[in-house]
Amino acid sequence: MKWRYFRVRSKQILWNEDNRVKLRNFNYLPRWLVIAIDLAIVIFSFFLSFLVVSNLNVSFYDVLTRPQECVFISLVYFASFFIFSTYAGLIRHSTFVDIFKIAISCGASALFLSIISYSYYGIFEKKIFLFPFLLINSVLTFAGMLMLRLTVKSLYSFIMNMGRKRHRVLILGVNDDSIAVGEALSIADHKNFVLVGFVSFNKRYKKLKILGVPIFKFDNLFFGSILPLKVNGLILVGNQLDTSEKNNIVDKALEQNLRIYHAPSITQWENDADVTSNIKEIQIEDLLERHPIKLDDTQINSYLNDKTILVTGGAGSIGSEIVRQVSRYKPKQLLILDQAESPLHTLELELRQQFPEVSYEFILADVRKKNRLEKVFEAYEVSVVFHAAAYKHVPLIERNPTEAIQVNIIGTVTLADLSAQYGIDRFVMVSTDKAVNPTNVMGATKRAAEMYVQALMQERQSNTKFITTRFGNVLGSNGSVIPHFKEQIKNGGPVTVTHENIIRYFMTIPEACQLVLQAGTMGQGGEVFVFDMGKPVKIMDLAKKMIKLSGLIPGEDIEISVIGLRPGEKLYEELLSDQSTTLPTHHEKIMRAKDDTMFLEDVMNLIIEIAAAAEQSDDLGMIGKLKVLVPEFKSENSVYELLDLPSCSDE
């Protein structure tokens, strides 16, 4: 029975169900086995050394017999293995340090044996060991132990990469970061990449090599010169290139059907990840022309540190990032309010792990319910409110306008009134570029919310500073175009674009939230701050580049389908209305838009009428009143276009 168990168990360990050897299960050799093999090498080296020295016409001393010498020498080497921990590292990850340990161990053993031999000679006038024998034995032992490690390392690498598809790549740059990544590639266990060479931007190196591979100059002849090498891709390391240079290289590389990868500076690598996990295909977000944002941490810290902060819509894309960034300023307490249960729970698990020192309160609530919100203001001494709760998807809101009225307008009114009533210091509202000359219900509701907080500030019935921040599309937010395109490409297409000429401004979620925090420090109340969104991006070009970055050809591997503008969608987004004046601020990426404000009573009366129509599910009446409140709201590609006709306006 025992033999049968051993046979079955051995088969489970060594073989897969398809009868292929599972050599990849041998991730490391046990330490006892390493020591046993090293001792076997010592014994083998002893007898080999004996044979070598015997041919030198010398006589061995007769203090010890040959077996006794072998045992004595083996014990000394065995002790040195423990002293210098030659067995401690994983053989497959052996480095120069491990080789150095082996050399020191063998040298120290030979030295100790020599000292014993000469000490014995000093007492009894006889030597135990021949010095040439000890020297040759030490060298052979070192060579044997080194060969063991090199053999295991090479065998492991061969087995792990057997059948693995490997990409032949060039690394851009010849600086320390690029060379460090090249070294990491050369010693990696999982060789997904084969380093073919480096690329210099400034100088031509003729015969010089780094890590045994040549250096190419990036010029007009570059792609022709690397053609014989069958290069599959380029690796960009760190941030040594600005966005325009990076785009130039990527565009040219994509024309040659090369894959583009990005590796962070090696000091930023995740320690528990292998080389392959740190080198990833470059993302479209990395190629959008964005410049780093400089924040005034001192000002931000002064109004967030040791304060109670409320973030509505805190489990959403923007709200959750605001929460993460606020957490770094060590608030007294951070209240995270959202009506979405599962995302709120997921965020709680993340934050309690990442920021265990911050006091959080996760509040499941709806901004439309005044009684629920009032309990929150009563229970906590809120100092700052970041209002990010909103419905934002244009086509969906166009079909369900009542919900947008109740959340985007009534929810904001309720929250703003309570903020003024309880005398909080700052109310920072997150708005959108779609509020400028809106062509859809979503944009119009956000503009109505802006108008209310501006009017409330103008009345100055409290000390609360009401500040509005307005920006465009954010990369990677829920339902945004880039994740949508990625999913379509993953599924084989087609990639759907609403119009060939449609353009959009883009900003990353962290960028947008950083500017929200900064704008919160700058406002004195009533301002609408507009963020520098950089250059607008043509969505058709975005789709084509994303397909190419996936290693596919637009129009051949992945089709691009133009499906027409969606309800309420317009070709060009705006950040400022025609009537606005733009004033600079002390932050280069934040401008101040000065819109005309209405009296609070007039705004409130129209909002009451809009809310009443919403309660009756009277969509046309509700949107009609919304167009009175926001006269620049002209519907496009929508059922509400009829309300813009002169006959309807006269009514």
Which residues are marked as active site? 434
408 and 445 Cβ atoms separated by less than 8 Å: yes
User: Rounded to a whole number, what is the distance in angstroms from the first to the last CA of the chain?
Assistant: 96
Cα 129 from Cα 112, distance rounded (Å): 11
Q: What does the block give as tokens for 306?
A: 């040791």
Cα 138 from Cα 406, distance rounded (Å): 84
Helix (H, G, I), strand (E, B) or coil at 570: coil
| Pairing outcome for strands 590-594 and 528-531 | antiparallel
Name the strands in the sheet holding 193-200, side by side, starting at the edge strand that comes first in the sequence: 209-210, 213-217, 193-200, 167-172, 233-237, 259-263, 280-281
Cα 604 from Cα 594, distance rounded (Å): 21
| Pairing outcome for strands 259-263 and 233-237 | parallel
436 and 471 Cβ atoms separated by less than 8 Å: no
276-305: burial string, b at 16+ Cβ within 10 Å, e else? eebbeebbbebbbebeebeeeeebbeebbe
What amino acid occupies position 523? G
Residues 6+ apart with CB under 8 A from 86: 38, 80, 98, 101, 102, 105, 145
Q: What does the block give as tokens for 125?
A: 């006038």
Residue in this structure with the two tokens 């919900």, named with its chain if needed: 403
- C-alpha distances in angstroms, 447 versus 79, 403, 598? 80, 16, 12
Q: What does the block give as tokens for 541?
A: 């070009």
Cis peptide before 494 (omega within 30 of 0): yes
Q: What is the dihedral angle through the alpha carbons of 421, 427, 429, 435, rounded to the nearest 10 degrees?
A: 70
β-bridge mates for residue 216, sequence order: 199
Query: Residue 445, Cβ neighbours under 10 Å: how many?
Result: 32
Cα 189 from Cα 442, distance rounded (Å): 52
Cα 253 vs. chain centroid, distance in angstroms? Answer: 23
Cα 252 vs. chain centroid, distance in angstroms? Answer: 25
DSSP string, 472-516: -EEET-TT-HHHHHHHHHHTT-PEEES-TT-EE-EEEHHHHHHHH
